[in-house]
Chains A and B, each alone.
Chain A
């Protein structure tokens, strides 16, 4: 079975030097979100729970810009805007 990492390696990205995704309130993720759906519903697995710092790591560089996280976060805790013009994902096929 092909891994997600293998597939994401095929996608062209022009990453910006700062993130277009921010977690509004880290405490909410830790205390009020037992399932943390962002960590699995994101098609690119941009979100990862970091147990050491008790916060979500955001790998914005691999974001496919679909918007699933904006609607799937049960705490409405993800501030997502479009990457700056010319940055982000660049599809060859579409």
Chain B
């Protein structure tokens, strides 16, 4: 007689039956925010359930591809010794693209190749799976293939408190003292609680990305890095067809991550598909040689919160906290997101650990999470750039005219044709000021400096 192996579905059902009906904390979503939160909670002795809707933690997770060392090291010290990482980034470049041309700046420092590093290229589906194992080792319960569809509420005379979650599994209600919403930018649960007014297409970008395979040596040659080292390029201007947004190219071990993000409202007006924007960027003469001969392995999409400080929802209520992309914690100017997500998850967890000591999970105690964020770089940075999104959206020439003028000026300066430099400068000045008045340019520069400086 042969014993039949249990199917994955049966195993999952069994695992579900083993899950208790009550926890101290439930974390919804195993991305950077949720994993950081669940790990910190479990280490802090909080009975924690981490719920992920994908097959495994990471299977639904998408990001540009950069993991920051500092916040990760704060949560799991020396993570680089065992985590699945791609390349430590030693050089960051910024490219201003115009049609056919590029004006570039960058910073390279081999010091970034030494511990504790600065940032790494990673693949979420590999890194998050690894980190979820750490979360389980730390003592949390992980349940996958489970969607949280709603909340359980405790109704008292004076207040309504989140008291757990409803999942789409049979008898799928689980109670908890506190729920941490870490489900990403498209946070249906935050909206369900009325903590986020419906977002507009001007608050979000859609990002599409491709993973393109190339031999390791080719990557190192093309990006001018030593064996094992990595580089990143951010691309603005023509990379987004003049729309508000940004492109990126990140080096992985034997692949490149290349993507582009554009504001949904601008894409709507353009009539373009995001993949078309990406394909055009891939064909740019400065980009094409980097990709030559590569084979596309995967195509991915996600939305990116770009609303900044003004779109941050109410971050806490009775029995609930919101972290990461769900809380719109993205610094678009510096393309930082996963570090804000991880740090916010950690700060939320620390607030819960304190709330447990006090035995009070009301908003009075949970407000400390908001204060922690305010005291940290997270809300300080978002506050600093609070007007960036509005400025760049209402001044499209930053993405259209200025890259063209930069190209014109650089081309004039670098072309050797026996014209005296003084005459070249005059010619450039004349061209630039004829395209946009001097007072307008002065105003643009002043506003840019006020907003980003």
Residues of A within 8 A of B (CB): 1-2, 4, 6-8, 10-11, 14, 35, 37, 40-45, 64-68, 70-72, 74, 76, 81-86, 88-94
Bound-state CA distance A64–B273 (Å) is: 14
Q: Which residue of B lies closest to A43 (CB)?
A: B301
* A1-B283, A40-B273, A41-B273 known; A84 vs B168 contact (CB < 8 Å): yes
Which stretch from B151-159, B202-210, B413-421, B422-430 is at the chain A interface? B202-210
Residue B123 lies at the interface, judged by CB distance under 8 Å to chain A: yes
Chain A residues in 8 Å Cβ range of B167: 85
* A4-B273, A45-B273, A68-B301 known; A92 vs B125 contact (CB < 8 Å): yes
Cβ–Cβ contact A94 & B268, under 8 A: no
Bound-state CA distance A7–B300 (Å) is: 9
Bound-state CA distance A90–B298 (Å) is: 11
Residue B24 lies at the interface, judged by CB distance under 8 Å to chain A: no
Bound-state CA distance A42–B299 (Å) is: 13
Cβ–Cβ contact B55 & A86, under 8 A: yes
Number of A-B contacts (CB under 8 A): 142
- Name the distance in Å between B408's Cβ and chain A's nearest Cβ: 28
Cβ–Cβ contact B128 & A7, under 8 A: no
Residue B383 lies at the interface, judged by CB distance under 8 Å to chain A: no
Bound-state CA distance A44–B301 (Å) is: 8
Cβ–Cβ contact B271 & A94, under 8 A: no
The 5 A-B pairs at the shortest CB distance, nearest first, are namely: A67-B186, A94-B124, A94-B125, A86-B145, A43-B301
Q: List 9 A-B contacts (CB under 8 A).
A: A10-B296, A37-B268, A68-B206, A68-B274, A68-B303, A71-B200, A84-B147, A91-B125, A93-B124
Bound-state CA distance A82–B28 (Å) is: 13
* A7-B210, A43-B206, A66-B206 known; A74 vs B299 contact (CB < 8 Å): no
Chain B residues in 8 Å Cβ range of A35: 268, 271
* A37-B268, A67-B186 known; A91 vs B168 contact (CB < 8 Å): no
Bound-state CA distance A56–B54 (Å) is: 28
Chain A residues in 8 Å Cβ range of B126: 93-94
Bound-state CA distance A85–B169 (Å) is: 8
Cβ–Cβ contact B128 & A94, under 8 A: yes
Cβ–Cβ contact B275 & A4, under 8 A: yes
Bound-state CA distance A92–B252 (Å) is: 14
Cβ–Cβ contact B279 & A71, under 8 A: no
Chain A residues in 8 Å Cβ range of B63: 94
Chain A residues in 8 Å Cβ range of B198: 76
Residue B218 lies at the interface, judged by CB distance under 8 Å to chain A: no
Residue B201 lies at the interface, judged by CB distance under 8 Å to chain A: yes
Cβ–Cβ contact B299 & A8, under 8 A: yes
- Name the distance in Å between B99's Cβ and chain A's nearest Cβ: 17
Within 8 A of A (CB), among B130-162: 144-147, 149
Bound-state CA distance A66–B259 (Å) is: 14
Chain A residues in 8 Å Cβ range of B147: 82-85
Q: Which residue of B lies closest to A84 (CB)?
A: B168
Residue B175 lies at the interface, judged by CB distance under 8 Å to chain A: no
Bound-state CA distance A11–B53 (Å) is: 18
Chain A residues in 8 Å Cβ range of B188: 81-82
Bound-state CA distance A7–B297 (Å) is: 8
- Name the distance in Å between B149's Cβ and chain A's nearest Cβ: 7
Instruction: Identify which of A6, A70, A71, A94 contacts B62 (C-beta below 8 A).
Output: A94
Chain A residues in 8 Å Cβ range of B185: 67
Cβ–Cβ contact A91 & B297, under 8 A: no
Instruction: Identify which of A7, A68, A72 contacts B299 (C-beta below 8 A).
Output: A7
Residue B387 lies at the interface, judged by CB distance under 8 Å to chain A: no
Chain A residues in 8 Å Cβ range of B393: none
